[in-house]
């Protein structure tokens, strides 16, 4: 069991490490400092929650390492507000909690029902009024709530999913890991009907799968 003091100190060390790794967005760092990451993993892994490593959350899924979470959100923000945000791959709910402190609304979708139930249970004690969770096929986005100012994808796609591009608002941004063997972060920016893509560092994510279960 991790006590509150230990957890707060571990979060501070995590944020200091993120700074040394190059994360510069102070609002992202403050959100990472605020969210109790250990509350989103199995109790036996709580002492590892603030290490810079992905951790298993069941169903062949993982919670991303803190640097990747911070880096993706920093790229998505980059001089603007997140606004209305879609998260594809809610997992255990951790990233949705971080996003809730930076976005006006967060729609977090997950294709694995028991994992969605776990995310709901993890998020409930935090009482975040701007987070909505839904069972859905992430590759298709969430057309009923579109358009989105920001879309963040926590699974690797073979290419940028067309449905997600279409659900971007004008001026919106989408960040998604792309690739089979080697994956890289791809940032898509919508300018009218044009989409500009920028490629960033290598990452490692579970594959983005269709359907729900």
Query: Is 198 an annotated catalytic residue?
Result: no
51: helix, coil or strand?
Answer: coil
Which position among 64, 100, 139, 150 bears the catalytic label?
A: 64
Nearest alpha carbon to residue 188 among 204, 172, 201? 172
Strand runs (DSSP E) across the chain, as ranges? 55-58, 61-63, 84-88, 105-110, 131-135, 148-153, 168-178, 183-191, 194-203
Distance CA 14, CA 113 (A): 30
Nearest alpha carbon to residue 151 among 37, 70, 75? 75
Distance CA 130, CA 190 (A): 24
Provide the angle, in degrees to the nearest 10, between the axes of the packed helices 26-34 and 66-77.
140
The order of strands in the sheet holding 148-153 is 131-135, 105-110, 84-88, 148-153, 168-178, 183-191, 194-203
91: helix, coil or strand?
Answer: coil
User: Which residues are marked as active site?
Assistant: 64
């Amino acid at each position: 069991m991790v006590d509150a003091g230990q957890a707060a100190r571990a979060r501070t060390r995590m944020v200091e490490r993120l700074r040394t790794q190059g994360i510069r967005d102070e609002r992202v760092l403050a959100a990472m400092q605020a969210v109790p990451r250990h509350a989103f993993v199995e109790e036996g892994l709580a002492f590892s929650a603030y290490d810079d490593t992905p951790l298993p959350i069941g169903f062949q899924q993982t919670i991303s390492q803190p640097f990747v979470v911070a880096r993706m959100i920093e790229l998505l923000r980059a001089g603007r507000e997140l606004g209305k945000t879609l998260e594809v791959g809610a997992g255990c709910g951790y990233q949705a909690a971080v996003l809730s402190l930076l976005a006006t609304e967060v729609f977090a979708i997950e294709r694995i029902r028991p994992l969605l139930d776990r995310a709901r249970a993890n998020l409930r004690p935090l009482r975040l009024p701007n987070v909505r969770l839904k069972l859905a096929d992430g590759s298709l986005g969430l057309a009923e709530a579109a358009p989105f100012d920001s879309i963040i994808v926590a699974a690797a796609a073979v290419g940028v999913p067309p449905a997600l591009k279409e659900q971007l608002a004008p001026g919106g941004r989408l960040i998604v890991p792309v690739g089979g063997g080697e994956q890289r972060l791809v940032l898509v920016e919508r300018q009218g009907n044009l989409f500009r893509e920028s490629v960033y560092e290598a990452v490692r994510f579970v594959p983005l799968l269709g359907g729900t279960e």
